[in-house]
Amino acid sequence: MGNTSLGVLILLLWKILLCCGQAPAPVLNIEPNWSTFYTGESVTFRCDMNEGKDNDWEYQIRNVQQVLYSSDKTFILEHLYTGHSGEYQCCGGRRESHSIKCSNTVLITVLGKI
C-alpha cells in the first residue's frame, strides 16, 4: 500500500513539473511604450527570452514585410516612416540546441507629420 501512495505522489509531481516547469514565453516590449509614432521618430524593440542568459540566444525582430536582424536583444528602428506600420515579433534561436521561440506581437502605427 505504501508503494502505491509513493507512486501516485511521484506521478503527481511529474505532472506538475510538466505543466508548470517550463520557462515563460518570450516577450517583446517597445520603448517608448505606445503604439502610435510619427515619421522621423524612433522605436526600440527589446526581446526577453525569459530563459537562460541573453548571449545564449540569437535574436530576430520580424514584421510582415521583412526580418530585421539583431544579434542583441535590443534593436532600434530609426527614422520611422508610414511603411513601418504593422505587427512586430521577436524570435530567438538558442545557440546550443537550435530551438526557436517567438514572442507576442506588438502593433505599431506610423503617421505622417501633420
Q: Which residue has the higher pLDDT, 36 or 8?
A: 36
Q: Label residue 45 by pLDDT band (50, 70, 90).
A: very high
Give the pLDDT of residue 2.
53
Question: Which CATH class, in words, describes the domain spanning 24-111?
Answer: mainly beta
* Residues 6+ positions from 72 with CB-CB distance below 8 Å: 54, 59
Which residue blocks in the chain are alpha helix, DSSP H? 2-20
Give the pLDDT of residue 14.
46
Domain ranges of the chain: 24-111
pLDDT at 33 over 90: yes
Mean pLDDT over the full length of the chain: 83
pLDDT at 51 over 70: yes
Q: Is residue 17 left, alpha or beta, with left meaning phi > 0 and alpha meaning psi from -120 to 50?
A: alpha
